[in-house]
Amino acid sequence: MKKAFAALALMLAAPAAAMLPSAPEAEPAAEPAAPAQAIEDTVDEGADERIAERITGIFSELPAFEAVDVAVSQGVVTLSGTVPDQEAIGRAEAIASRVTGVVTIENGLERDVSLSAQGSGIASLADKWNGLLDMLPLIGLALLVWAGIALVGYLIAGLGALWHRLAPNSFLADLIASAIRFIFVVGGLVVALDIIGASALLGAVLGGAGVIGLALGFALRETIENYLASLMLSLRQPFRANDWVLIDDLEGRVIRLTSRATILMTLEGNHLRIPNGQVFRAVITNFTRNPQRRFQFDLGVDADDDARAARQLGRETLAGLDFILDDPPPEARIIEVGDSNVVIRFLGWIDQRETDWWKAQSQAIPAVKEALEDAGFGLPEPIYRLRFDPRSATLPFENIVEGQAQKGAQAPKKVQRVAASDAPEDIRPANEIADMVDEERAKAGGEQEKDLLDHSRPVE
């Protein structure tokens, strides 16, 4: 009966509770902090002795703690004595604190700095020495493997005839041989270190070598640039020995191309060394490649004369010279009207194999000039107008004129004309510089640096 009545009361209370406003949710309680280890108010009889015995037993198994004394009173552990190093002091305290029943630790350990206490370090060195002696056969095997691999590389690189046949020139062939030797030496070192289990050492060495190589690359940038330029020039072959070239503003005949510089002999007979990096970037004019070469000069005729007739006469005069080529024919161009004349540019072509360029121009200029003068054309000089202003002179203008009249002007000296010889002038090419270059190349032989110019390959 009581159970039925309780159930009925519960059913009636449930709807009323649902109608009431709900209470705000309580915030979750913060996790309680872990309580510190409680210290018992009583100590079991013999607990201190058991703690001391336990810690002493642990220390006896560790050689570093053989000289440590342990005392326990009321759970307080006192450590005294010496240990071989500073790290062992903290280690001993950590071990003792893990024993059950220990309340706190008074650490009085000190490091033993006596020579006898460092026996373990000396023993470690002895162990390492013994280990090295044990590894000597393995190290010897690794060295033999390294030497064998390096020897194979040197033998392959020594096949000079093969590399000279495959490479376009001797410089590149030597470069290929050097690369093969380097690859085999480094590869043998990798295998040897792997045999003795020192691959990590190789990584450190190669990493350090990479950093050093990068620093040297920046420091020797110009040297490396010259070396690479030498390689490119040896492949491109922009000129031959004894070619007359103009490299930027440096002119001369080529003696040789080395791995560092291009050597020229200037037209004054001096040796000129140009770094190959500069040669590779320069604008090169080769006067020898094309045997036909043109010269030009300007003459001015009087403005009142017929410039077209003067042009025609000059062109016919050039065509009448034996050393002027008919194809391309000589030409004359009116290029400028000056203050008192009309400027005509005369052009003629020669064959450099038979005619010297400078000599041809030296004969063509007077020939055309004389032809124009004989035909009645005037070749006036520049006319300058001088104005004498009396107001700007320090002395009166009349005094200046009177003084000059009294002093009198000296009569100009007559220039004695020398009759030109009728004998034909030698216009053959002047080869004194070319002969010096040939003599230099023949005399040097193998004493100088290797010449990278290859006459068997076409010029770029």
pLDDT per residue over 349-388, tens digit each? 999 989 999 999 999 999 999 999 999 998 887 666 666 6
- Using DSSP's 3-state secondary structure scheme, residue 254 falls into strand
Supply the Cα-derived Rg of the chain in whole angstroms.
52
- Is 98 within a domain? yes
How far apart are alpha carbons 336 and 300 in whole angstroms?
9
Within a domain: 90: yes
11-50 pLDDT tens trace = 444 444 444 444 444 444 444 444 456 677 666 778 888 8
Whether 4 is covered by a domain: the verdict is: no
> Which of the listed residues 195, 219, 243 is the one where a domain comes to its end?
219
Q: How far apart are CA 46 and CA 418, in angstroms?
A: 142
Report the CATH number that the domain containing residue 86 is assigned in CATH.
3.30.1340.30
Pairing of strands 341-351, 292-302: antiparallel
Assess if residue 419 is contained within a domain.
no
Burial class (CB in 10 A: 0-12, 13-18, 19+), 262: buried
Asked if residue 300 and residue 370 are part of one domain, the reply reads yes
**Is 11 domain-assigned?**
no
- The answer to whether 64 touches 118, Cβ cutoff 8 Å, is no
Question: Domain boundary at 197, 219, 241, which?
Answer: 219
Least confident interval from 159-163, 200-204, 316-320, 340-344: 200-204
CB 117 within 8 A of CB 82: yes
Strands (E), 168-249: 244-247
Residue-wise pLDDT tens digits, 286-342: 998 899 999 999 999 998 899 999 999 999 999 999 999 998 999 999 999 877 889
Which residues are bridge partners to 78 per DSSP? 71, 106
Residues 6+ apart with CB under 8 A from 172: 231, 234, 235
Q: Is residue 414 part of a domain?
A: no
Instruction: Please check whether residues 298 and 332 belong to one and the same domain.
Output: yes
Are 382 and 299 in a shared domain?
A: yes
Give the whole-angstrom CA distance, residue 310 versus residue 375: 9
- C-alpha span between 93 and 287 (Å, rounded): 92
Q: Tabulate helix, strand, coil % of the chain (nearest 5).
A: 50, 15, 35
For residues 197 and 232, state if they share a domain.
Answer: no
Number of domains composing the chain: 4
302 and 337 together in one domain: yes
Residue 64 φ/ψ, nearest 5 degrees: -70, -20
Lowest mean pLDDT, pick from 32-46, 204-218, 242-256, 387-401: 387-401
Question: What tokens appear for 150 in the block?
Answer: 């390096």
Range of 130's domain? 121-219
Three-state DSSP at 281 gives helix
Domain final residue pick, 201, 219, 237: 219
Same domain, 152 and 65: no
What is the token pair recorded at 356?
A: 């010297």
Cβ(241)–Cβ(451) below 8 Å: yes
